[in-house]
Amino acid sequence: MTQTFGTAAVIGAGTIGLSWTALFAAHGLTVRVSDPRPDLGDALVQALDAFAPHLAAQGLDTTDLVDRVHVVSDVTEAVADADVVQENGPERIEFKKDLFAQLVRGAPAHALLLSSSSAIPATAFTGDLDDASRVLIGHPFNPPHLMPLVEVVPGERTSEDAVQSAVAFYATMGRAPVVLRKEIPGFVGNRLQNALSREAVYLVQQGVVTPEDLDAVMKNSLGIRWAAVGPFLGSHLGGGPGGYRHLTEHIGVSMQQMQLGQPSSDPAVRELVVEAVEKAYAALPYELLAEIADRRELAVLAALKTAHRNEKEN
Ligand SMILES: NC(=O)c1ccc[n+]([C@@H]2O[C@H](COP(=O)([O-])OP(=O)(O)OC[C@H]3O[C@@H](n4cnc5c(N)ncnc54)[C@H](O)[C@@H]3O)[C@@H](O)[C@H]2O)c1
């Protein structure tokens, strides 16, 4: 399978597809975009404009972004000369089944066929394909032009060649691909997020903490630590010179005895949490909150990049 990626097809240009488009174009790829939305051209121009500063902050050249992005009339035209296809359509098995059958027929034999799917594993929509060897999941975190992680998840019939090629592709796009060796609902990132979100909702429902204070706890402790070292290295360091082994035998015992909460599924109780979150963040409009979040995330990424560079030099 080729390791050269000159032309990408982006199928589905909603939240995720627009962001991938900007990232691929900023890395010099020709990008052909297909989506039946009537405002596709305008949405692309707006997205490229809005994302350009984020891409520039990552050191990418954004001068000719628009020239590298082409609106096409359908999927067949999008994939005809693609080296890689990134699918970002609706999260429905039937849609992905039909679409990937079309992609296998229409894309060149060397093209890598990737799906952004967050919940549907490749095996669930490739069963009817004669050749599913180059189909796999490349699951980003939103927005993919900013968040480094891509979970690369092969299906049962995906070749190892395609897995390695996907890893090479996302690394070329400046992302941090991680290969999952088994399909599991929610993959890894969303499972972790889900576990934490459940406990967060439980703590608010119990009146232990408000939503803003819960956010403050995370931003001022685990968020910083986990961005720097991740949970396992964090625990290894937390155990002192005895490392992770000492931690599991010592504090780990009482941690294991702690029962985690089960948030109430009563609609009235759930509504109270929704209202509390809405009230907590009502002062600023959504667009401004999103802009602030992007700016802070870029600052974290830039700081980590500097730290990694210094580690290499020292
Ligand atoms: N939003 C997220 O946070 C997120 C994160 C990671 C992965 N994903 C995954 O990415 C995929 C897209 O999600 P999204 O949030 O961008 O959804 P979205 O609803 O914003 O975009 C989906 C797009 O697909 C288009 N579409 C519909 N039929 C199509 C067709 N036949 N051909 C081409 N395009 C078609 C729609 O017009 C729409 O623009 C999903 O599989 C989702 O699970 C989403």
Helix 189-205 / helix 267-280 crossing angle, nearest 10 deg: 100
CB-based burial, 300-309: b 16+ in 10 Å, e otherwise:
ebeeeeeeee
In order along its 314 residues, the chain shows pLDDT tens digits of 546 899 999 999 999 999 999 999 999 999 999 999 999 999 999 999 999 999 999 999 999 999 999 999 999 999 999 999 999 999 999 999 999 999 999 999 999 999 999 999 999 999 999 999 999 999 999 999 999 999 999 999 999 999 999 999 999 999 999 999 999 999 999 999 999 999 999 999 999 999 999 999 999 999 999 999 999 999 999 999 999 999 999 888 888 888 999 999 999 999 999 999 999 999 999 999 999 999 999 999 999 999 999 999 98
Say whether 314 sits in a helix, a strand or coil: coil
Start-to-end C-alpha separation, the chain: 37
Determine if ligand 1 sits within 6 Å of the CB of residue 36: yes
* Closest residue CA from atom 38 of ligand 1: 14
User: For tokens 């608010």, what's the residue?
Assistant: 204
Determine if ligand 1 sits within 6 Å of the CB of residue 92: no
C-alpha 171: how far from chain center = 14
89: closest CA among 123, 124, 114? 114
Task: Return the C-alpha torsion angle 149, 155, 159, 160, nearest 10.
Answer: 40
Q: State the pairing for strand pair 176-179/30-34.
A: unpaired
Phi and psi dihedrals of 16, rounded to 5? -80, -45
Contact in structure between 114 and 85 (CB atoms under 8 Å): yes
* Closest residue CA from atom 28 of ligand 1: 89
Catalytic residue numbers read: 151
Determine if ligand 1 sits within 6 Å of the CB of residue 154: no
Two structure tokens written together for 278: 């809405």
Which atom of ligand 1 is closest in space to residue 95's alpha carbon?
31
**Which of the listed residues 35, 86, 92, 114 should we mutate to test ligand 1's pocket, taking the one with most ligand atoms within 8 A of CB?**
35
C-alpha 110: how far from chain center = 25
User: For tokens 């490392």, what's the residue?
Assistant: 243
Determine if ligand 1 sits within 6 Å of the CB of residue 117: yes
pTM: predicted TM-score of the whole model, two decimal places: 0.95
